[in-house]
Amino acid sequence: MLNYFKTIYKVGKSLIQGMLVTWKSFWQPSITVQFPDEKLITPERFRGALTFDKETCTACNLCVKACPTACISLEPAVDPATKKRIAKVSWYQIDFGKCNYCRLCEEACPTKPIKSVRHTHQYEWGMLERKEMFVKWERMSPSTEPSTSGSTNMKPI
């Protein structure tokens, strides 16, 4: 019988001690962020969605070889007059469904000072269909801007 009350006393005491800890935390400033209204600043090295610069790329294929999941494909441009390959891309495509966001392609890219393929700080990206994950950049027709990179297809929250 005595043990019974001892146990009740012990549990009750630890309950109050535990509540004291929560009571102290209760008065500390909140560390959560109300996401769509407030946003955290991403650090400099943040690996967000990839972007591609179709003018500086030399179509050297190093990023394709570096990628662990083979999600990059490209085709070098051909000079229409001489029918020879030139150091430019005709189109460049990244399959973001496979991408690991690992920065190996950016590290392999030899263009200086700004890498042709690089991570941005963009982390909000919604897609409704699988084919939207293929993002293609074409150099030949200047009107086609990257259609899905950016928040253009995102509904406002």
Partner 1 sequence: MNTEILRIQGQDSKTEEMILNLGPQHPSTHGVLRVILKMDGEVITSAQPDVGYLHRGTEKLAENRTYPQMLVISDRWDYLAAMSNNLVWALAVEKLMQIEVPARGQILRVIMVELNRIASHLVFFGTYGIDIGAYTPFLYAFREREKILDLFEEVSGARMTYNYIRIGGVMADLPKDWIGRCRSFLEWMKPRFIEYDTLLTENPIFQDRTKNIGILPQPLAISYGISGPNLRGSSYRFDLRKDAPYCLYEKFNFSIPTGKNGDCWDRYWVRIEEMKESVKIIEQALDLLPEGECNAKVPRIIRPPMGEVYAQIEAPRGMLGIYLVSDGGDKPYRVHVRPPSFINLAVLQEILVGMKVADVIAILGSIDIVLGEVDR
User: Which of 75, 90, 93, 102: binder of ligand SF4 (CB under 6 A)?
Assistant: 102
Nearest approach, Cβ of residue 140 and partner 1 (Å)? 31
Q: Is 44 in the site for partner 1 (CB under 8 A)?
A: yes
Q: Is 77 in the site for ligand SF4 (CB under 6 A)?
A: no
Q: Is 58 in the site for ligand SF4 (CB under 6 A)?
A: yes
User: Which of 59, 117, 119, 148: binder of partner 1 (CB under 8 A)?
Assistant: 119
Please, which of residues 94-113 interact with partner 1 by CB under 8 A? 100-104
Q: Confirm if 49 and 149 have CB atoms less than 8 A apart.
A: yes
Which range in 3-11, 23-31, 94-102, 131-139 contacts ligand SF4 by CB under 6 A?
Answer: 94-102
Q: Confirm if 103 and 47 have CB atoms less than 8 A apart.
A: yes
Residue 109 binds which entry of partner 1, ligand SF4, none, CB below 5-8 Å type-dependent: ligand SF4
Report the distance separating Cα 77 and Cα 54, nearest Å: 11
Residues forming beta bridges with residue 89, ordered by sequence position: 76
* x-marked contacts with partner 1 along 8-27 as a string, rule CB under 8 A: --xx--x--xx-xxx--x--
Q: What residues line the site for ligand SF4 (CB under 6 A)?
A: 50, 57-63, 66-69, 71-72, 74, 94, 99-105, 108-109, 111, 116-117
